[in-house]
Each structure stands twice: as C-alpha cells, then as structure tokens.
Amino acid sequence: MTATDPALTALSQGWCALSLLHGRIEAHIERALQAGHDLSVREYSLLDVLSRQHDGDGGHLQMKQVADAVVLSQSATTRLVTRLEDRGLLERYLCPTDRRGIYTNVTAAGLELLDEARPTNDAALREALDEAAGNPDLAPLVRVVETLRTPVPA
C-alpha cells in the first residue's frame, strides 16, 4: 500500500471517526458526571468495575485487571484508587489467601455515589449518541455501538 492508497485512506478516516465519536461521548459524560456528582469518567468507570466484584472464585480483580478494565496504566489506576480511597469511596485490604495481594472494594459511600451517578452517566451516554447519530460520518458507528450487548473480551 502507498500513502495515497484508497484502502489506507478509508481505514484512516474510519479510525478518525471512531476516535472523534469516543472523544465526544467521553467529554459529554465527563461534563455531566462532574456537574452532578463531582466524578470524572475514569472515577465512575473504576467504581463501576469494582462494584461488580464478588466473593466467589475469581471474584476480586488484581490491579492489572482493574487497569485493563478502565483502560489506564497500572500506575495511573493506582493513583486513581488512592484518590477515591482518600474520598472514602474505596478501601484496600490484603487478600486473605495470598498476603502479597491487595484487593480494593467500593465502600458503602462509594456504592451510594455510584447509584446516584448511574442515571446521569446513562442519560449523558444516550444524549451523546443521539447527537452523534445526526452526523453522517458518525451515524454508522453509533448504530454499531447500539447493537453491542456484551463486553469485548480482553
């Protein structure tokens, strides 16, 4: 392929459209969560991921798994956990079966904030998708997003 190859150009344009859609959605949700709940998109995502943990086998996530789930580096995830822990929304404790492991749980206050913020997140997502659907370059991507029902495996 050359730099002017139509297939490469189309691929690049598709990637740009996907990036634009992601950026618009994230910015819209960020504004809504900040205004209504003093939460960032990343903080909301972290609370959401950690709230889904359970006490059964494989129910608690290691920091690398959490980082992958919220699409951050491990160091950025650790800083985010610390910030939310300082706000009383998360707590860390040693793994009872492996003293080297540290788990993170959402506190009662964190669960309450997450429950309050979830409708805001969902409404902002819907608004952002509806707005993007009016853009002919983004509409096909919106339709694809709307058909997704299960998480993409890592």
Measured CA to CA, the distance from residue 99 to residue 117 in angstroms comes to 34
Residue 135 amino acid letter: N
Q: What is the pLDDT of residue 9?
A: 80
- The owner of tokens 């339709």 is 143
> Which positions of the chain have pLDDT values less than 70?
1-3, 7-8, 150-154
Which letter, b or e, does each residue of 87-126 get, where b requires 16 or more Cβ atoms within 10 Å of its Cβ?
Answer: eebbeeeeeeeeeeeebbebbeebeebbeebeebbeebbe
**For 59-96, how does the pLDDT look when each residue is reduced to its tens digit (9 = 90+)?**
788 888 899 999 999 999 999 999 999 999 999 988 77
Q: What is the pLDDT of residue 60?
A: 83
| Structural domain range at position 114 | 9-147
CATH code of 93's domain: 1.10.10.10
In a domain, 3, yes or no: no
What is the total count of domains within the chain?
1
Q: What is the pLDDT of residue 151?
A: 64
